[in-house]
Structure 1
Amino acid sequence: MTVVTTTDVRLANLLKVYASLRAKSPMTKRQLAQEVELTFASVSSICNQLVDLGLVRYVDESIFTGGRKAMAVSFASEFAYSLVLDMHHTDYIAMALVDLSNSIVKSRKAVVPEELTLESLMDCIRQCYLALVTDCTGKLYCVSVGVSAVYNEQSQILLQASNPLLERVNLAMHLHTVFPDLPILIENDANLAAFSQLDPLKPGKRDQLFVFFTQGIGLGLIIDGQLYRGSHGFAGELGHLKLTGVDRTCSKCGNVGCMRTVVPLTSIARDLGEIDILRRSGSLAYCDHLLMRANQEPEVVQRIDYTAQKIGEVLAELFDILNPEQIILGGNNWKLYPLMGNTIRQTCRRLSNLAREVDIQIQFVSEPINDLIFKGAGEKAFRYFIESCVPELPLVSF
């Protein structure tokens, strides 16, 4: 039986007030008391404590209530920063400083060396970090990393990594050689994409799926407002889901009919004989190229529509099995969503059994992958921040 002490209750109330200020700052103490359903005296005491810690501040621009000035409390987003590291791509890394409000303050990319080793990769990360924080001042509280791989939290080992160099590697151990004094948080890129869509203004239990398209296909599952990873971190690996009517052999696993053989941009480019164009131009420019061709070439429209149909088939199965409030799609193919959206929705609703009872809410996110991972990694970092007894984490100046 778990024993809840007075200290536990006080800490829970402090975190509730702090999280509410992050979502809706600035507020008066009275507004805040109504928001968190605590007494005015309790909220006032907590605010004073948070001010002493430097986590919030009383602002001069007072909020007026009924003609009488009332001191407002504002969230101090610059109190500390997380360093977020996007390692989803095999050709480059991306890095950003993210404040406690989950705003990207500064970001940078770096091309990884051609003759890549773990040592040269760590050196690339180190140099990117030093360039990123040039002319910046502040304190870091953690490094939050997104990878295109399965992360086993128990063993801390990466599995099924898109970058073969990271396969069966304890990435956190290597990153500690670059950031020896900071906690290292590692998460699958699709899970971080799901985190990026959690709305701090609407906290609470939610059920949503984020289908994430990169070099592979991942699925971030949010159940009752919490990320679901499965017993060993394998939950949501969609790339090798078998599709009907597909007889292609998967180059990664050797099986036939995997989703990754027909759905990602790489499969579209390969079918159109344009894999070199995709590699040379990158995902966003290649999507623009496809849209331009689609205006004049029916076979290009048919190939994109085929991808949309297969996505719709998978979404119908996911909806019937998990019955989420919302299904969200995002990734490197987002510029094609205006062309694919109707087919995806219609196919999903036609094939889903539950669609006869409730409407399927499908949302398309038009946002670059790096930004999604930055936002998701920042949100994961903030949750770690408040769950680790604010603000007792070590802070490292940069």
Structure 2
Amino acid sequence: MSVERMDGLVAVLDAIRSDNGITQSRLAQRVGLGRTVVAQRVAHLEAAGLVVQDGLGPSNGGRAPRLLRLRDRAGLVAGADIGATGMAVGLADLSGRVVAQVHEQVDVADGPDVVLGRVEELVDRLLAGLADPPPLWAIGVGVPGPVEFATSRPVAPPIMPGWDGHPIRERLSGRFAVPVWVDNDVNVLALGELRTNPAAARAGDLLYLKIGTGIGAGLVSGGRLHRGVNGCAGDIGHVAVAEADAVICRCGNVGCLEAVAGGAALARDGRRLAESGASPGMAEVLAATGDLTAADVTAAAERGDPAARAMLARAGRLVGGTLATLVSFYNPGLVVLGGGVVHAGDHVLAAIRESVYRRSLPLATRTLRIEPSVLGEAAGLAGAVHLALDNLFTPERLARWLPAGSPSGRPELAAAPERVPA
């Protein structure tokens, strides 16, 4: 099939995927192709088993038009959102709707053999739990560290000992015989928000900021995830800030934002305040449990602890100052805030908003909205699923597997190069 015909086919399929239940005439208007061409492309997709006619649209006086829908039950994709201390693994249909999922505590520092071995077990368990499941088509994975997207391999991840250069794609594709894509967790979160939050989709240009154990950002430009040349765009946790010039970060550098405003930093500073007696509330938690977490700090702030509130406000101001630079530089329409530190209370969120609106250029914030994620932790699994789906349906990859009717048994598809946009 020619490049032009394949591009038209993908345009029609994308429109049906994004508006599941669309008439052929509306489809022609959406993609800007003639009705005859659209009819040919729809017939091709129907013959391939990807699109079906299902239901009737409103009539304009004549015969009611048929609605076109994605045949979302033709296959399944698996998603794995691996975090520092927990993970979510799920199965979804071809529309991205999660049909089965499980959440577990995990320590990513246990290494790839332990963690990925458990991912494999959970995917097998979820497949076995479905009645007559369709074949698995692909897998998407998010991990809490830098990833070279072209190879799906982590690169010197600070909190993932033993994962540097690990062949995640090769392991999982060898196990399940499907294409596998891996990305860092913040890009996966941004993608999940983009594909499932209508406000994010409308914004088109957005920035997803995660403040959890670490700090990172996912960038979306023109409705497409921006990874940069090697896949590490948005790694703002290791931007230098003056207030951290004497603090050693877990990456080995000195002065990183994450070292003074991330969840690990909050736990460290909270323990210091508890031990010094500056925070009686956190001292009680430390005495009772022998440890103190970022969640304990935010809980103390919610109970009115002045020291905890001051610490969270400072972290929010530091993050907001760095974010203000990005807002002026990148000019997004929406900033989505996620991660455990943000969802634990309003203290960090308020401080971030104040810093951004005070320090960014007025034009950059004229229509800017800064909102917490509407999906919360579910964004990670949604993003992992859509990471697989988006890559399956690129023109280059669709052209390779469509004649066979399925990408199952074609793990090499993940390494197929994409066409560089003109």
Matched with 1:372 is: 379
Alpha-carbon deviation of 1:31?
Answer: 1.9
Give CA-to-partner distance per residue, 1:194-214, whole Å, 9 cap, x none: 212225879799332211223
Give CA-to-partner distance per residue, 1:6-36, whole Å, 9 cap, x none: 7222221121111111111212212222222
Matched with 1:313 is: 321
Mark the CA change 1:116 to 1:304 in structure 2 (over 3 Å): closer, same or farther: closer
- Residue 327 of structure 1 aligns to a residue in which SS? strand
Matched with 1:3 is: none
Does 2:361 match 1:353?
yes
One-letter amino acid of the counterpart of residue 333, structure 1: V
My pick for the range that moved more, 332-341 or 43-52, is: 332-341
Mark the CA change 1:130 to 1:357 in structure 2 (over 3 Å): closer, same or farther: closer
Alpha-carbon deviation of 1:185?
Answer: 0.6
- Residue 77 of structure 1 aligns to a residue in which SS? coil
- Residue 243 of structure 2 aligns to a residue in which SS? coil
Work out the CA distance in 2 between the residues paired with 1:116 and 1:332: 21
Structure 2-normalised TM-score?
0.81
Does 2:168 match 1:171?
yes
Unaligned runs of 5+ in 1: 1-5
Corresponding residue to 1:105 among 99, 103, 110: 99
One-letter amino acid of the counterpart of residue 68, structure 2: V
Answer yes or no: is the 8 Å Cα contact 1:337–1:364 preserved in 2.
Answer: no
- Residue 194 of structure 2 aligns to a residue in which SS? coil
Matched with 1:52 is: 47
Answer yes or no: is the 8 Å Cα contact 1:246–1:256 preserved in 2.
Answer: yes
Give CA-to-partner distance per residue, 1:134-181, whole Å, 9 cap, x none: 2311111111110112112455531232221212322223334432x1
Unaligned runs of 5+ in 2: 272-281, 410-422
Work out the CA distance in 2 between the residues paired with 1:266 and 1:158: 21
- Identity over aligned residues, as a percent? 22
**Structural RMSD (CA):** 3.1
Work out the CA distance in 2 between the residues paired with 1:394 and 1:7: 20
Corresponding residue to 1:135 among 108, 121, 129: 129
Mark the CA change 1:156 to 1:298 in structure 2 (over 3 Å): closer, same or farther: closer
Matched with 2:87 is: 93
Does 2:79 match 1:84?
yes
Answer yes or no: is the 8 Å Cα contact 2:298–2:341 preserved in 1.
Answer: no
More strand by share: 1
Alpha-carbon deviation of 1:118?
Answer: 4.0
Mark the CA change 1:98 to 1:116 in structure 2 (over 3 Å): closer, same or farther: same
Work out the CA distance in 1 between the residues paired with 2:235 and 2:195: 24
Corresponding residue to 2:311 among 277, 289, 303: 303
Corresponding residue to 2:228 among 227, 230, 233: 230
Matched with 2:340 is: 332
Corresponding residue to 2:247 among 225, 245, 249: 249
Work out the CA distance in 1 between the residues paired with 2:290 and 2:135: 38
Alpha-carbon deviation of 1:313?
Answer: 0.5
One-letter amino acid of the counterpart of residue 141, structure 1: W
Answer yes or no: is the 8 Å Cα contact 1:93–1:111 preserved in 2.
Answer: yes
- Residue 313 of structure 1 aligns to a residue in which SS? helix
Answer yes or no: is the 8 Å Cα contact 2:178–2:407 preserved in 1.
Answer: yes
Alpha-carbon deviation of 1:243?
Answer: 1.6
Matched with 1:158 is: 154
Alpha-carbon deviation of 1:83?
Answer: 0.8
Work out the CA distance in 1 between the residues paired with 2:302 and 2:103: 31
Alpha-carbon deviation of 1:46?
Answer: 2.2
- Residue 228 of structure 2 aligns to a residue in which SS? coil
Does 2:216 match 1:218?
yes
Work out the CA distance in 1 between the residues paired with 2:215 and 2:248: 13
- Equivalent pairs counted in the alignment come to 385
Work out the CA distance in 1 between the residues paired with 2:150 and 2:42: 37
- Residue 230 of structure 2 aligns to a residue in which SS? coil
